[in-house]
Amino acid sequence: MFQLSLLNFYLMGRVIFAVALQVAFHFIGNIFIFDKLVLLIGLYSFIALIRLIYRPQSVHYFDFLLDIFFISLIIFMSFNFYSYSYLTLLYLFPIFFSSLSVKGKSAFLFPFIAIISYGVICTTFEVFFQKENLFNLALHFISFMLIFIAGREVSNRLLVQQEHIKRLEEDRIKMQGYERLFRVSADLAHELRNPLTSVFASIQFIKEGKDPNDFIDILDEETNRISGLINDFLIFSRPSEATKEVINISSMIQRLVNNLNDNDKIIETFLDESIEVFANKTFLESAIGNVIKNAIEASKKRIKISVKKINNPPFGVSLNGQNPLLEISIEDDGQGISETIKEKIFEPFFTTKPKGTGLGLALAYRIVTDIGGNISIDKSKLGGANFKIYIPSKI
């Protein structure tokens, strides 16, 4: 991440630098070399701009070689006028940034290429063997190597720091996982305690000689509740790597509606029979079924379910999958969901129902996000809540 942002800064900076250099030479350049310099800088600016637009995410030796070559041409063309000027300082920039960006020993090539280029220029103008120029070249070589070594040291320290930050982030995520596990385990124990209390009390009354038939319904209801809690918790904690198959979403939803529908409720369906996904049937059916069941329980009279393909998710919905997407909309005409509990609605064991387990929507969210989808909550046109499940069409 550091190298990517650094490279983007470097690519953008040299475009700005080229334009600024062209303006500078306009004011201080010699008339005999001005036209050629303008052409050279203009060509460099164009190449640098193309490089900025085209694949700015990758590091290339070409970038630094281009800069060294360009600087050498500038020095060559203005050598008689700015022979020992500040222009050679420009070599320091590609050398420094190459030491930060290029891995391995090959990065050492850039300071050597820079000093060789400058030495060739001096030789061309027949000043290479002058004592003063030999001393000048030696100073340049030492400066190039020092700036390279300094950049290398900065790069190494930043890499160590990044690795340390990465480990801290992994530890933080791991601790959050433990905290969540402890909280969910405590909530599960609390939810199991209530039905177990009823079971123990019924058994105690039977032991005291009371008619067992009076407690059969209580025992049946509470044991089913315990079994449901455990099954939901196992699915919630189970890894996402499960057997997958081709599923017709519309057929699945229609089957769930037929099984879950309360005869007093009106369920309208708008389904595309051709839509299929590749997922684990048991998990996906559990996820969609829990949302439909929640809508049926929350509604007064009417529920509306629709399935369609969309090209892009709406604003605020983050997906890991690929387009196109499936949007499963499940609306009801109930009281809706207030803003105060909207952020908690998918937390395990959070429920507003007297006998709810609080695992249904949490289970749905876990399953959908595990396959690269997402769930959002909006206000329904029917007056209640509108749960929208987004699933990548190729899971």
Same domain for 221 and 104, yes or no, is: no
**Residue 6: per-residue pLDDT:** 65
Residues 6+ apart with CB under 8 A from 316: 376
In a domain, 177, yes or no: no
**Residue 2: per-residue pLDDT:** 43
Given a contact cutoff of 8 angstroms between Cβ atoms, the answer to whether 380 and 336 are in contact is yes
Residue ending a domain, among 210, 237, 264, is 237
Same domain for 64 and 159, yes or no, is: yes
Our count of domains for the chain comes to 3
In a domain, 113, yes or no: yes
In a domain, 179, yes or no: no
Same domain for 226 and 253, yes or no, is: no
Calpha distance 228→182 (Å, rounded): 21
Same domain for 319 and 340, yes or no, is: yes
In a domain, 359, yes or no: yes
Same domain for 28 and 133, yes or no, is: yes
Same domain for 114 and 211, yes or no, is: no
Calpha distance 4→165 (Å, rounded): 17
Same domain for 380 and 319, yes or no, is: yes
Residue ending a domain, among 108, 142, 168, is 168
Residue 261 sits in a domain of what CATH number?
3.30.565.10
Residue ending a domain, among 118, 137, 168, is 168
Please identify every stretch of the chain with a pLDDT value under 70, giving residue numbers as ranges: 1-8, 24-38, 55-60, 79-86, 126-132, 173-174, 176-188, 190-191, 232-242, 262-263, 312-324, 349-350, 352-358, 394-395
In a domain, 327, yes or no: yes
Same domain for 224 and 273, yes or no, is: no
Burial class (CB in 10 A: 0-12, 13-18, 19+), 281: middle
What's the length of the chain?
395
In a domain, 176, yes or no: no
Same domain for 8 and 150, yes or no, is: yes
Calpha distance 384→336 (Å, rounded): 4
Residue 218 sits in a domain of what CATH number?
1.10.287
In a domain, 178, yes or no: no
**Residue 81: per-residue pLDDT:** 59
Calpha distance 113→99 (Å, rounded): 14
Same domain for 253 and 233, yes or no, is: no
| Host H or E run for residue 248 | strand 245-248
Q: Rounded to whole angstroms, what are the CA distances from 140 to 76, 77, 89, 112, 120? A: 16, 19, 9, 11, 14
Q: Which domain holds residue 297?
A: 245-392
Same domain for 159 and 216, yes or no, is: no
Per residue, the 3-state secondary structure of 7-46, as one string, reads HHHHHHHHHHHHHHHHHHHHHHCCHHHHHHHHHHHHHHHH
**Residue 128: per-residue pLDDT:** 55
Angle at 57 between CA 53 and CA 393, to 5 degrees: 100
DSSP per-residue letters across 90-122: GGHHHHHHHHHH--SGGGGHHHHHHHHHHHHHH
Same domain for 257 and 194, yes or no, is: no
195 C-beta neighbours (distance < 10 Å), count: 20
In a domain, 175, yes or no: no
